[in-house]
Amino acid sequence: MSSRVVCDECTRADLFRAVAGQGLPAIEAGMPMPAGTGLTRRGFVARSIGLALTVYGAGRLGIFDEGIAAAASAPQQPILVTVFLQGGADALTLLSPQADPLYRKLRPNLAVSGGTPFAEDASLSWHPALAPLAQLHGEGKVSVLPAVGYDHPDQSHFTSRHFWEVGATDTRLLTGWLGRYLDVAGTKDNPLQGLSLTGSLQPALATAKVPVAAIDGPGEYDFWTPGVWGEVQDRMLDAIGLLGRVGGDDAAMRTAASVTAQAATLRKQLAPFAGDKIPAPAVPYPTGDSFPQRLQGLAAMISAGLPLRCVALEATGEYDTHASQVSALGPALQTTAASLYAFQRDLEARGVADRVLTLVWTEFGRRAKENGSGGTDHGAAGTGFLIGTHAAGTQVGEFPGLAGGLDEDGNLKATSDFRGVYAALLEQWLSFDAERILPHAKSFARPTLVK
Amino acid sequence: MGAPVYRGTFGAPQAERLLWRAGFGPRPGEAKALAKLGLDGAVHSLLNPGVEKLVGPRPHDSKGRPLAPADRWGHDHCWWLDRMVRTSRPLVERMALVWHDWFATSNAGVGDQTLMLQQNELFRKHGLGSFERLLLSVTANPAMLLWLNGTENTKDAPNENYGREMMELFTLGANRGAYTERDVREQARSLTGWTSRWSRGRGDYDFHFDAMRHDPGTKTVFHRSGRYAWRDACRLCLSNPKHPSFFVQKLWGYFIPVPPNAATTRALEAAYTQGHELKPVLEIVLKHPALYTGPRMTKPPVVHTAGLLRRIGAGVTTDAWAWIGSLAGQQLFYPPNVAGWDDTRWLDTATFRGRWIGVAQLLNDRRLDPSKGKAPADAQTVLKRALAFWRNPQLSDATNRALLQFAKESLRQAGSQRWKQVQYPVLVENALRQLIAVSPDLQTS
């Protein structure tokens, strides 16, 4: 896929603004003013979590209380955030062995030059656009996985991504690795425990038992209907929950009902943010892209004490660079790294950084030899990063080198296994027995990921 | 032995399910009319619909302008949605949607709505014909050549993108032992030679095969060797022994949510291998008992929307449908990746809200004005009116009870205040229209 995008009238960001505007609870013309409730805009301070909220229109204060109560009463759990670089990000661009003559030979047109040297391995340099990550690494807050993957790598996007999402090289598993964790460690009434901030559910969070959620951002999860307001609107919102209890024998009906019930619960949980009432970030984020916006919303939700446990996002950019790799990767890496940097600084400024670890992953790296379309074809081992104040900050597995480090297909060999990484995260960060979650967990060595 | 055929009553409910699975749901009276033809007649009419007639009001954007699908952002989605709503050939459009998912090409990578529409026309033209012709046409299709780098695949620098996905996603399937990594590389060589010209004003144009860019050497694919080119690459996939089983299972899955049993699978494969023709396979699927007596399916978001518009005889009157489609998880011409949409996971909390917004959009021009409420009404009556708005869809008892409970509790809020007694029934009716359309019953078919 190339990365040209055509949009002659609006940008994606405009689009989402339009949606948020659409969803604002409207005070409609001709709407009478019931005595005593004050239907004008009014300030409502949620003292329990220190958020200043403006409540519009006729919402019963009850739903805000519920959202805040659920948030405030949640114990402070560690949070694992995953960020997916979709398409297979090129390991030899992210961290490049610039001094190796073989690199120039394999990559006559695509070889990266410049960038900060990688402090733990003098043969590698950070891509210049990853300077923000290099800085965090210098502070001991980034663990680098220069060649993470698995034996007998599958070069299909979909198969390889599936393996990473389910936490096993098993094509038949249907639940995600984080979903299975939530199924045993989570609760039946909290969709926010597994949150996709991507507009649709990320497979890693697919559960068998407990509810999880997908949203675009915390500020727009509202439900508006023309010609409905006041007490009837409140009842209608409750009725979403009633429809969520419609069960029956049919699997598709049950699924639809269960998602409806999750939507009803989630709306209450996110009530403090309704109408885009997201507190300003503590630090500037990149603008004009949904990824930094979502991270900014995420930092605000964590800071507000919402009961999050596992969160999945997709980074900005298209990493399946069969062609035009240089022009596609530069801006994508720039925005992604700057956004992750802002997120980390925001968490630190809000005093919640100690609760969050962020794993950056991709389904595979790319072929060492460039393909002649100015791009690279599918490869094997890829790059991973673990970011956070509690990240051990030391590299996991070595860079295997180009001479001797490539497999018979000419792809980078893995020096760490993603299942070992998952097991280590479950045990060292979430304090949970990995063998209850990952098939054959015993057989994978655990790197030290957490300090 | 052939596949089983549904022998039960073929009344309006069965005809309605057929119209949902093989189209976009019934227009008023349509299910009844189709039921009169009997199962054989109904399936025959869907498979052989004749010349297309577009029925209903012509589409326009939010400013009242005619749609410009080749030029304006989002108008491509609305243009196709309108076709789904107004067509007299629902199965042709539904199959076009199947092929759009099967050969999923996104304008996010192509960057040219004209080329996307050309590809879409292919799906309509060959959609009920032969899969071989379809595969050959798609392989040489400009949007696909751009999307999977076909024009950048040359003898000196092979690009594996199309060759791999042709086998993995379009014809053979991954992890079935149908091909090896070596086959991927050899197929890429067979597919070399496509190119186009480019100008600042026109973008990519003049897509053609250039023998100078083609690798004329011998390739070895599936243990056979020859001086293969792109047509051979396609036919090698079609004659791979693992292709028919992949093909019929995948096609079946678009219509029926549980896999076919062994006897049905054999019958489907036998019908397919005769000449890669689609109609004999579809006929088995559309007459199969599992379609009528088996479990329900989640409607894809665009089918849900088109179905609601058809149900009330409404047309496309806004270009908002494009971003609403995106929120609901299905913006046409922008599938998430080359594997298409994940049909097993249409519904989550985000896409549920997208569907809600779609219903609100549809109801926006049709809202009842509470200040014009005339008299108090009881819950039963208000629910009956709201159901009539949607042409009385069949709802489960549990859904009916939930809706009635909402109506009763809301009306009770009016207490003894006269203005509330008059206005609340109208508010409740507006709300019920919304709740009915997003109920589990109307999300599935």
Instruction: State the pLDDT at residue A278.
Output: 74
Question: In this structure, what token pair is assigned to residue A212?
Answer: 């999880």
pLDDT for position A13: 26
Scanning A280-299 for CB atoms below 8 A from B yields none
Of the pLDDT bands very low, low, confident and very high (cuts 50, 70, 90), residue B203 is: confident
First to last CA, chain A: 40
- What ipTM was predicted for this assembly? 0.95
What pLDDT, on the 0 to 100 scale, is given for residue A157?
Answer: 87
Q: Is B256 on the interface with A (CB under 8 A)?
A: no
Whether residue A12 is predicted with pLDDT greater than 90 in this model: the reply is: no
Q: Is the pLDDT of residue B156 over 50?
A: yes
Q: Is the pLDDT of residue B267 over 60?
A: yes
Residues 89-148 of A with CB under 8 A from B: none
Q: What is the pLDDT of residue A269?
A: 87
Q: What is the pLDDT of residues A205-253, one digit of tens each?
A: 998 888 888 888 888 788 999 999 999 999 999 999 999 998 788 999 9
CB-count exposure of residue A43 (10 Å: 0-12, 13-18, 19+): exposed
- Give the percent of chain A with pLDDT over 90: 67
Average pLDDT of span A318-327: 92
* Distance of residue A37 Cα from the nearest chain B Cα, in angstroms: 14
Q: Given an 8 Å threshold on Cβ–Cβ distance, is B431 in contact with A377?
A: no
Q: Would the CB atoms of B348 and A196 count as touching at under 8 Å?
A: yes
**CA-closest candidate to residue B307, choices B97, B42, B9:** B97
If you classify domain A12-443 with CATH, what class do you get? Answer: alpha beta
The dihedrals phi and psi of A390, each to the nearest 5 degrees, come to -95, 5
Query: Does pLDDT of B279 surpass 90?
Result: yes
On the question of pLDDT at A53 being above 50, the answer is no
Query: Any residues with CB less than 8 A from the CB of A236 and at least 6 apart, and which?
Result: A223, A225, A228, B406, B410, B431, B434, B435
Q: Which of A29-38, A145-154, A232-241 has the lowest mean pLDDT?
A: A29-38
Tell me: pLDDT of A127 over 50.
yes
Choice between A30 and B286, residue whose per-residue pLDDT is larger: B286
Give the per-residue pLDDT at B72: 94
Give B63: exposed, middle or buried? Use CB within 10 Å, 0-12, 13-18, 19+: exposed
Residue A27 in this model has a pLDDT that exceeds 50: no
Residue extents of the structural domains in chain A: 12-443
Q: Which of residues 185-214 of A touch B (CB under 8 A)?
A: 191, 196, 199-201, 203, 206, 212-214
CB contact under 8 A, B399 and A256: no
Query: What residues 84-113 of chain B have any CB closer than 8 A to a CB of chain A?
Result: 106-113
Across the interface, whether the CB atoms of B438 and A18 are under 8 A apart is answered no
Residues of A in contact with B213 (CB under 8 A): none
Is B146's Cβ below 8 Å from some Cβ in A?
Answer: yes
pLDDT over threshold 60, residue B14: yes
Token match 């790799």: residue? Answer: A325
| Res. A52: pLDDT tops 50 | no
Q: Are A220 and B266 in contact (CB under 8 A)?
A: no
Q: Given CB atoms, is A20 within the 8 Å cutoff of chain B?
A: no
With CB atoms and an 8 Å threshold, state whether B295 touches A251. yes
From residue B370, give the alpha-carbon distance in Å to each of B311, B373, B410, B420. 25, 5, 14, 9
Which chain A residues are closer than 8 Å to B364 by Cβ? 226
In DSSP terms, which residues pair with A362 in a beta bridge?
A85
Q: Which pLDDT tens digit goes with each residue over B212-230?
A: 999 999 999 999 999 999 9
pTM of the predicted structure, to 2 decimals:
0.83
Cα distance between residue B441 and residue A365, in whole Å: 44
pLDDT tens digits, one per residue of A341-395: 999 999 999 999 999 999 999 999 999 999 988 999 999 999 999 999 999 999 9
How many contacts does A have with B, using Cβ atoms within 8 A?
A: 251
Amino acid at B80: W
